[in-house]
Amino acid sequence: MRDLYQEILKAQYQKQKLLAILLDPDKLTVDSLAGLVNKINSSPATHILVGGSSFDGNHLCELITLLKEKTSLPILLFPGNSTQISAEADGILFLQLLSGRNAEYLIEQQVMAVPLLEKTNLEIISTGYILIESGSESAVERVSKTKPLDRNNSDYVAQTAKAGELIGNKLIYLEAGSGAKKAIPLDMIAKVSKRITVPLIVGGGIRSKKGIEDAFNAGADMVVIGTAFENDLNFFD
Ligand code: 1GP
């Protein structure tokens, strides 16, 4: 079996940047999947993330089974809540919303997920998830009923990321929110990546190849693209 986390660590060590395409199951139909996956297979993507803030988990297994038939890229669940778990995926970013102070997303949803997770062989990758203010209310903010961290206070964000690492998170994810007006500031990416040793994921509001490159150059180990690819399947051409 693949060890996805070891592969991410190896990529970080070798400075090979990783690119994940985020698919929101709410916006996916079985019919649209084939064309979409062809585009993903010919893109520079290294991972597929599947999840959304408000999706209820229905037809997730079916979608992932179809995805797996059509691509060899690793599929990681990126769950908005404890119902978004499918044994068909390869792994799960087991998220802790470190920016918020709502116990439901710090521990309760994780407790609820355990009986489901125990029935799977998913690789579970503990991920500190940090929501950053990005110009308007994000779905994560709305659903989790938490406030994002100040985009002008990189020191506090870096301190939060470090706390996540010390707690035992194996990845840190800086999130501006899907479709964010403003992506994560580059100086924040730089500050966080210097403060932590675990790999850093950055996503939300990145709409151009330059935006991806800038995030990589600032210190992101993995960049996540959702909306830009959703709106234009030729984004990577
Ligand atoms: C959202 O970070 C991801 O959780 C991707 O955001 O849809 O803005 O690319 P976008």
**Residues 206-218 pLDDT 10s:** 999 999 999 999 9
Find the 131 Cα to ligand 1 centroid distance in Å: 11
Q: What is the mean pLDDT of residues 172-177?
A: 98
Residue 176 Cα: closest atom of ligand 1:
2
Q: What is the mean pLDDT of residues 68-93?
A: 96
Q: What is the mean pLDDT of residues 129-151?
A: 97
Q: What mean pLDDT, rounded, does the chain reach?
A: 96
Res 145: pLDDT: 97
Res 53: pLDDT: 80
Res 130: pLDDT: 98
Res 57: pLDDT: 66
Find the 88 Cα to ligand 1 centroid distance in Å: 23
Residue 173 Cα: closest atom of ligand 1:
2
Res 55: pLDDT: 72
- Residue-wise over 146-164: b if at least 16 C-beta within 10 A, else e? bebbebeebeebbebbbeb
Q: Which of 37, 19, 75 is nearest to 209 (CA)?
A: 19
Alpha-carbon span 17 to 50, nearest angstrom: 20
Residue 230 Cα: closest atom of ligand 1:
7
Residue in this structure with the two tokens 């778990």, named with its chain if needed: 85
Quick one: CATH architecture of 4-231?
Alpha-Beta Barrel (3.20)
Q: What is the mean pLDDT of residues 21-29?
A: 90
Neighbours of 139 (CB within 10 A): 15
Domain residue ranges in the chain: 4-231
8-state DSSP, 72: -
* Protein residues with CB under 6 Å of any ligand 1 atom: 22, 175, 178-180, 203-206, 224-228
Confidence of residue 56 (pLDDT cuts 50, 70, 90): confident
Find the 194 Cα to ligand 1 centroid distance in Å: 23
Confidence of residue 201 (pLDDT cuts 50, 70, 90): very high
Q: What is the mean pLDDT of residues 32-47?
A: 95
Coil, helix or strand at residue 154: helix
Confidence of residue 31 (pLDDT cuts 50, 70, 90): confident
Residue 140 Cα: closest atom of ligand 1:
4
State yes or no: pLDDT of 129 exceeds 80: yes
Q: What is the mean pLDDT of residues 178-186?
A: 97
8-state DSSP, 68: H
Q: What is the mean pLDDT of residues 66-82?
A: 96
Res 59: pLDDT: 86
Q: Under a CB-based contact definition with an 8 Å cutoff, are residues 225 and 178 in contact?
A: no
Contacts of 149 (CB under 8 A, 6+ apart): 99, 130, 131, 132, 133, 156, 157, 160
State yes or no: pLDDT of 106 exceeds 80: yes
